[in-house]
Amino acid sequence: MTRSSITFSHRYSLLMITFFALCLVAKAQLSTDFYRATCPDLLKIVRREVLSAIKTEMRMAASLLRLHFHDCFVNGCDASLLLDATDSEKAAAPNLNSARGFEVVDRIKSSVESACSGVVSCADILAIAARDSVVLSGGTSWKVLLGRRDGLVANQTGANNGLPSPFETLDVIISKFATVGLDVKDVVSLSGGHTIGLAKCSTFSNRLFNFSGTGSPDSTLEQSMLTDLQNLCPRTGDGSNNTAAFDRNSADLFDNHYFQNLINGKGLLGSDQILFSSDAAVTTNTKSLVQSYSSNSGLFLRDFADSMVKMGNISPLTGSAGEIRKNCRLVNS
């Protein structure tokens, strides 16, 4: 080996050691006890406000869970979705007249600020509220890593392009998850979040009458459910704001019933049903995961919790990056 090759090898090793060290430091900046000294009652405050919101409207659990998901997929988990800005992510197609729960986040933030002003980020509030929404709907808990800071800019284009759509193919959806560091298991387990909540007709009416230009409904949709949905969302477009449960016959309980529905052709969105019924479901392994989760509730709940922690680690701002917003809708002046 020549002197130059030894030097290159040494430099390369140092670079790799430095890279992995930086990665470990970045991850270490998020911790479960980040606010132990600065805001010791944080978890109690958020839990109390989420419980109050869910008691008022059970659907809010799904809405708060979705806010965290839609935030993390764009700019990382930095609460950019909450900003009322010129380039607002709220106005992006996947969120417009769809994302909801912002007023609940405002109330949580106000309560947190009253207890410990200028300390807790909106991004961390979203992460805690998502966990509590699952727990209060009957799902399992997990330890939320904290220490995120809030972003300074929204990204409407990123929301339009990066968020998975109910009309996309499985390969495209898997690719969008992979872009933010999530794998096929994450795709299926996080899709299980649709075990709670409602969706508007506009998100699934393409399946009801003229699916993909065939002139017929989506053949993977179970007949009795098809009839019910056709009555709810007629071809004329009347009732376009009507809603149906993601998880038929188990709309408010966080369980594995969603996956049982997929096996029976009762997935609401096209992006739900393709996890089991599409050709790609076999080649990508999503079908076997659906089958496993449908018969093993504990496995689903554990994998879902693991995937939520993983999703919450998408490009967080830490240290001196970003800021701690006083108002989740606005950057600090």
Mean pLDDT calculated for residue range 195-212: 96
155 three-class SS: coil
Answer for the pair 78, 123: CB distance below 8 angstroms, yes or no.
Answer: yes
The pLDDT, as a whole number, for residue 5 is 44
Mean pLDDT calculated for residue range 226-254: 94
31 three-class SS: strand
Phi-psi region of 84 (alpha: psi -120 to 50; beta: other; left: phi over 0): beta
User: Is the per-residue pLDDT at 27 higher than 80?
Assistant: no
User: Is the per-residue pLDDT at 109 higher than 90?
Assistant: yes
Answer for the pair 90, 159: CB distance below 8 angstroms, yes or no.
Answer: no
Of residues 161 and 11, more confidence is placed in: 161
Angle between helices 42-56 and 60-72 (to 10 degrees): 130
Answer for the pair 204, 232: CB distance below 8 angstroms, yes or no.
Answer: no
Q: How many residues does the chain have?
A: 333
Would you place residue 14 in the very low, low, confident or very high pLDDT band (cuts 50, 70, 90)? Answer: very low
Q: Which of 75, 125, 73, 114 is nearest to 94 (CA)?
A: 73
Answer for the pair 197, 63: CB distance below 8 angstroms, yes or no.
Answer: yes
Q: Which residues of 127-154 are buried (b: 16+ CB within 10 A; e: fewer)?
A: bbbbbbbbbbbebeebebbbbbbbbbeb
Q: Which of 319, 314, 333 is nearest to 79 (CA)?
A: 314
Residue 318 CB partners (closer than 8 Å, separation 6+): 26, 29, 30, 147, 148, 149
User: Is the per-residue pLDDT at 20 higher than 70?
Assistant: no
**Sole residue written with tokens 């807790």:** 120
* Distance between first and last Cα of the chain: 59
User: Is the per-residue pLDDT at 10 higher than 80?
Assistant: no
Mean residue pLDDT of the chain comes to: 92
Mean pLDDT check: name the lowest of 117-121, 233-237, 278-282, 308-312.
Answer: 233-237
The pLDDT, as a whole number, for residue 276 is 98
Angle CA 265–271–275, to nearest 5: 60
Active site residue 10: no
Kindly tell me the burial class for residue 15, based on how many C-beta atoms sit within 10 Å of its own C-beta (0-12, 13-18, 19 or more): exposed
Beta strands in the chain (DSSP E): 198-200, 243-245
Rounded distance, CA 240 to CA 333, Å?
40
Mean pLDDT calculated for residue range 208-227: 97
Catalytic residue among 10, 68, 70, 257: 70
User: Is the per-residue pLDDT at 132 higher than 50?
Assistant: yes
Dihedral of alpha carbons 81, 197, 182, 175, sign: negative
Q: Give 37-68 pLDDT, tens digit per residue.
A: 999 999 999 999 999 999 999 999 999 999 99
pTM of the model: 0.90
Mean pLDDT calculated for residue range 166-172: 98
Q: Give 309-331 pLDDT, tens digit per residue.
A: 999 999 999 999 999 999 999 99
Q: Which of 184, 310, 294 is nearest to 247 (CA)?
A: 294
Rounded distance, CA 302 to CA 13, Å?
37
Q: Which of 317, 255, 331, 319 is nearest to 127 (CA)?
A: 317
**Sole residue written with tokens 């109690």:** 44
Mean pLDDT calculated for residue range 140-149: 98
